[in-house]
Amino acid sequence: MEPVVQFDNVKKCYGSHVAVDDLNLSIEPGKFVTLLGPSGCGKSTTLRMLGGFDLPTSGRILLSGKDVTRVPPNKRNVNIVFQDYALFPHLTIARNIAFGLELKGLDNAAIHRRVSELLELVQLQDYAKRLPSELSGGQRQRVALMRALAPDPEVLLLDEPLSALDAKLRQQMQIELKAIQEKTGKTFMFVTHDQEEALTMSDTIVVMNNGRIEQMGDPHTLYGRPGSVFVANFIGETNLLRSTVTGAEGDIAVLDWKGTTIRAERGGLSPKAGDHLYVVLRPEAIQCSADEPAIGNRVKGRIRQRVFKGNHTSLMVEVGDGDLLNALMHPAEAVRLDGEDVWVGWSHETTTVIPDRQTHG
Ligand code: ADP
Ligand code: MG
């Protein structure tokens, strides 16, 4: 299938500052794609270049196979939604949504049909004649989205559109946004610095760091098989065990972690004895027990901190000479572990390894 969006070696400099570097990205139509990364990593710049608001310093951008690198925003079939999605305050909801269609010169009957269809999509049929000031924040956000979708853009660009909403409404809008994307089958390119938001909505997450793509994949792969320490730390919480390879057993790497032998899935790597690796051990993969568990990897520790979070308890367990492991437990189980001494265990199947860049070029 021809990609709907393609970045070919795109670079963007502001003076001597490189905001986006060596960007190569190909997006299949109909997907929810999220650019995720810390503030300043180049997400908005990437989106603005696709929208035509910023010109790349070098490289090419293609929309459905057509080079649009130098095509002005109003001449390319994309639309953008920002956080401050200012609706026209003096126009009704229906007229707000109709705005882009009137610009396109559609006839009244066609405009009416399209507006009704979009209002129905977000269950705002009864609000057509209201003014934006008569709607809640969440409803206004839906209208802004429909206004952007009305002219049927090839790609809808969304730059942190939910970041001004409170937590509850934000979670609700995440689910709704994903549902709208699925119903319309449009390609959404969404920008956020919030990993949870990215995991909730995306078909594909593009993790950016310092103007470059760090890793790209579906949410499960990025969470379960992070390819770098940056991604492992940025997506979810993690324990990183810096270990030395001592051998291999098929797809499993055997490692020494501070005197304890542990095993981990080696993923695509072929580590040699003596190599240093990080074992990625997610907090929820750890089982804590009073008695020694019958599980592949286990080590004795001492509970140093318990933090009750309602639906889980986070335990900080000290192992070896002062290393702290973060373990996630059901609160009731955590209460049963009343002493300090505890066994920490995990299966190799729940882990993955990352090369330690300090020892690998
Ligand atoms: P993000 O959206 O990921 O937070 P941006 O794409 O906005 O990051 O910015 C990437 C980098 O480029 C940042 O270091 C930012 O300061 C810089 N930058 C963005 N826009 C401009 C501009 N118009 N002039 C100079 N530097 C800019
Ligand atoms: Mg930004």
Domain ranges, ordered by start, for the chain: 5-232, 237-355
Testing ligand 1's pocket by substitution, the residue of 7, 45, 191, 234 carrying the most ligand atoms inside 8 A of its CB is: 45
Judge whether residue 51 has pLDDT over 80: yes
- Distance from the CA of 19 to the center of ligand 1, in angstroms? 6
Place of tokens 């004895």: 273
pTM above 0.85, yes or no: yes
Decide: helix, strand or coil at residue 157. strand
Residue 83 has pLDDT above 80, yes or no: no
| Residue nearest to ligand 1 atom 24, measured at CA | 14
On whether the CB atoms of residues 349 and 267 are closer than 8 A, the answer is no
Other Cβ atoms less than 10 A from the Cβ of 184: the count is: 15
3-state helix, strand, coil in the chain (%, to 5): 30, 35, 35
Residues with CB under 6 A from ligand 1: 14, 17, 19, 37, 39-45
Query: pLDDT category, 78, cuts 50, 70, 90?
Result: very high
Instruction: Please compute the mean of the pLDDT values over residues 228-243 and round it to a whole number.
Output: 95
**Rounded CA separation 243/274 (Å):** 9
Kindly give the pairing relationship between strand 32-36 and strand 204-209.
parallel
Alpha carbon of 40 to ligand 1 centroid (Å): 6
Taken as a whole, the chain contains a residue count of: 361
11 CA distance to ligand 1 centroid (A)? 13
How far, in Å, CA of 31 to CA of 48, rounded? 19
**CATH code of the region 237-355:** 2.40.50.100
pLDDT at 117 over 90: yes
Please give the residue that has the higher pLDDT: either 357 or 32.
32
Q: What region does 250 belong to: left with phi over 0, alpha with psi -120 to 50, or beta?
A: left
The whole-angstrom separation of Cα 201 and Cα 175 is: 7
Q: Where are the beta strands (DSSP E) in 15-54?
A: 17-27, 32-36
Distance of alpha carbon 288 from alpha carbon 106, whole angstroms: 64
Residue 358 pLDDT class (50, 70, 90 cuts): low
pLDDT at position 325: 97
Nearest CA to ligand 1 atom 16: 40
Q: Which fold has domain 5-232?
A: Rossmann fold (3.40.50)
Between 34 and 165, the more confident residue is 34
Mean pLDDT of 150-164: 93
pLDDT of residue 315: 96
Express each pLDDT in 269-297 by its tens digit: 888 999 999 999 999 999 999 999 999 99
The pLDDT value recorded for residue 321 is 80
Q: What is the pLDDT of residue 45?
A: 98
* Three-state SS at 134: helix
- Is 6 in contact with 26 (CB distance < 8 Å)? yes
Question: Is the Cβ–Cβ distance between 17 and 172 less than 8 Å?
Answer: no
Share of the chain above pLDDT 70, in %: 98
H-helix or E-strand spanning residue 204? strand 204-209
Cα(47) to ligand 1 centroid in Å equals 11
The pLDDT of residue 361 is: 36
Provide the pLDDT for residue 340: 92
Q: What ligand 1 atom has the least distance to the C-alpha of 46?
A: 6
Q: What is the pLDDT of residue 360?
A: 43
Mean pLDDT of 336-347: 93
Q: What are the C-alpha distances in Å from 210 to residues 18, 37, 352? A: 9, 9, 24
